[in-house]
Each structure stands twice: as C-alpha cells, then as structure tokens.
A and B are shown apart, each in its own frame.
Chain A
Amino acid sequence: MTRHVPIRDTATADPMIVMADVEKWYGGFKALSAINLSVRRGERIVLCGPSGSGKSTLIRCINRLEVCQKGEIRVGGTRLDDDGHSIDAVRREVGMVFQHFNLFPHMTVLQNCMLAPMRALKVSRREAEETARRLLDRVRISEQADKYPAQLSGGQQQRVAIARALCMRPSVMLFDEPTSALDPEMVKEVLDTMIGLAEEGMTMICVTHEMGFARQVADRVIFMAEGSIVEEAPPDTFFTQPRHERTRKFLGEILRPY
C-alpha cells in the first residue's frame, strides 16, 4: 500500500503522553508489566499484538478508565493520580473511540455530540450545536444528525463516535479497535476518517489490526505480548525487519495470504 501520510518528524516536539514503569494487575493476573512509552505531540502510534496482550488496557490507563497500580502516567504535563482534578485535566485532553461505538442510544446523533461539550465544557447550546454540525459534516454524516444511533450502520455509528469525541476538542485521540466490530465493507469509511484526522496533525494512539492503516499512517508501530512492549519501530522497519521472533510469528499470522 502506498503511503499518503508522510512520516512526521516529531523528534523535537514535547512529549504529550509519558508512561513510566506502569504495571497493572487484575487480581493475581499481571495485565501490564513495566510499560515505558513516550508519545510526542502530533505522533501517530499503532498498537498491535495478540488478544489479551494488554493493548486495550494500556490505552484505557491513559484516560483512567483503568487504574494502574504502579508507575506514573503523564498527559500534557498533568500527572494522573487519584485526585479528581488530574483526572479531569487528562480527560479534557484525551478523546476515545471504542470498539462497540458506545453511542448513547436514547439520544439523536446531534444530541450525542452536544451533551459533553454542554456539560463538561459548559458551552452554550448554540455553540455546541454549531460545533457538532461542523464535525458531523467533517466525518461526512451531517445528513443523519437527527436520527438515533440504532438507525445507522456500524460504520456510520463509529464515525459519529469519532465526531462526538472531537466535539470535546481533544489534543490526543485513543482508538480501541475501532474497526473490529464492523462489517468488512464499512471498515474503509472509518479508516478514511481516521486517516483524515492523522493528516490534520492529531496525536493518535490506535489499537488496531489494520496493518494497511499502520503502514499508511503510523509514525511508530508498537507490538505488545503478554502485557509487555516487545518491539517498537517505524512501520517500514517493523514490517520488513522485525527483530523479535514473537513479532515475526504474529506478523506471519495476521499477514498470511489465504
């Protein structure tokens, strides 16, 4: 696949997200061990690995949907801790898109997009509606604004979910397997939307198995297994010269032609 989005040189940019020695257990099960990760402003990361390797857990720690027991997480200069203010400051910066969309089913598409800006950012109804309509237009779904989520296809719902997250003006977007629950013919419309975001300079961490997307968009691909980061490299290196046996095996499995 050709690469439309040039690798961005973010070497001089300040770190947007820093995870230092992060560990997380579920009871006796160690879900994340010694995670060290630094994401610079504007960087686009693709996180991949077999299921149960801790990819989702890792990004869910960043906006504190999961609480890690050890280590430090900083987002845009804020250190995440139990204090509500730090959680508030971090969630202000970070938008998230889920595998199962998680749109609010009792609200229209427009209401889905207006709720959080009005409640959390305290913007006026008019301003919230303007922003919502603009962003729905950007994900090319403005004509569905007054429908309910269940009236839309999966791909449309996921694009609404992206617009809803963007309405909060985040500086980082987390994607948790955004295309895994979609029918194959709908994957492209969602990926195109994400590529558009990447082109505009959004800092992104995407948990995905769409390796074409990784090749095209990622500045860095990170491979995880059993709760640890095994390998990280620019996509070219990652796909052509993986260093670890575990990575080679994984790539062999997901890239195998039928």
Chain B
Amino acid sequence: MSMQTVKFRIYRYDPDKDAKPYMQDISVEVDPSTERKLLDALVKLKVVDESLSFRRSCREGVCGSDAMNINGKNGLACITDIDTLKQPIEVRPLPGLPVIRDLIVDMTQFFKQYHSIKPYVINDTPAPDRERLQSQEDRKELDGLYECILCACCSTSCPSFWWNPDKFVGPAGLLAAYRFIADTRDTATNERLDNLEDPYRLFRCHTIMNCVDVCPKELNPTKAIGKIKELMLKRVA
C-alpha cells in the first residue's frame, strides 16, 4: 500500500502552558485505503503528538462528539472524507464557544439553551396500559427533527447565536422545541410557544441558514423555526 501525506494547520491551546493560542503546521502519513476520514488522520496525529486534544467516540456520525471547524466550515471529523478537503487542512474548535483546550470547547451554553426548551414530552393525562397510539402520518411529522445528535455544528455556525448565546435559543434548541410541538403525544404546545415568545429566544433567527448548510445529519432547523413562527402567528389570529 502506498501511504499518503496529509498536511494540517491546527489550532492549539493548552492554558497550562500556552500564553495564547497558535496555529500548528503538522503533517501525518495515512493509508488511503483504510484511513479515509478526517478523524482517522487526527487519531494518527495524536500518535505522533499525544498532546493534541479533541473529543471523539462513535466514529460513525451518531454521537456528535467530534464537531469542529474544518477549512472554515463546521462538520464532524468522522464523516468528512480527507480527499474532499483542500490542504493544508485548517482545523479549529467550533466558533463562538470558550475553548478549554485545542479543539475541545466548553458546551455549557449550548446545552443550557437545549434544556431551556423543556426537551421532553409533556403529557399530564394518565398513561394508558399500552402505548399511546400515533398515526403513521403524525409520526412522520417527527422525521427530520428527532435525529439531531446535539453536535452543535448548527448553533455555533449561527451569527445570531454568536452574538446572543445567552438569549437566543439557537437552531439546535429550536429544532428540539419544534420536535416536541410536532409530537401529537405532547399536550404543552401553548406553554412551549409562551416559552419562546420573546424578542431573542426565537425571533433572533434571521434565516441566514448556516445551520442548514452545516448540519451533518442534513436536518433543517430553519424550516422548524419557520413552523414555530407560523404557529405563533396563528395563535394571535
């Protein structure tokens, strides 16, 4: 097999020893027949330089750990093909969140917004002995919503979230909000709309659509946000 060199420019910062962040130029040899993904190359880089720090787990795009900014665009390292990327590959932490170390960001604010929309089915009617019935059409309404992996690619690509991460729920949180509004088993639509009726929480979305562009699961938060806005208007009328 012939090995292939992959060149990187990687954001590095360890508060224990670095006065400030810097970009490190480094390259690594990969076997293109088996090491095709960006994560494969990063894992190999870590063998060369064990101090390189990043999160990773499932390596198949379902756990949402390895979101990062890759050549200027947010994505998951584990499902990004190396050969689609211009080299040197510039890898940075997700934008807009505090950096803990290297590519590891502090996601507290992101999860706080997710939690703020009450991300669970609310239904105070007594549970039946069997499953609550839901028609196939009603269940279909949840497709494109429930698949979110909370990687934060969307929210950290959104200028409105950059400016107001404490006030604007952000695309991931709003997608989740609509996932529960759209669920026929949830009885709290009004309460959920009240929770979002605010100049910032929902209405800071200016349909820039970066979220749609970067979502590694090809979901559409902008569309979900639009549906919430429609419901708000209907409620007034």
Decide if A and B are genuine partners: no
Residues of B within 8 A of A (CB): none
Question: What residues make up the interface of A, taking CB atoms closer than 8 Å to B?
Answer: none
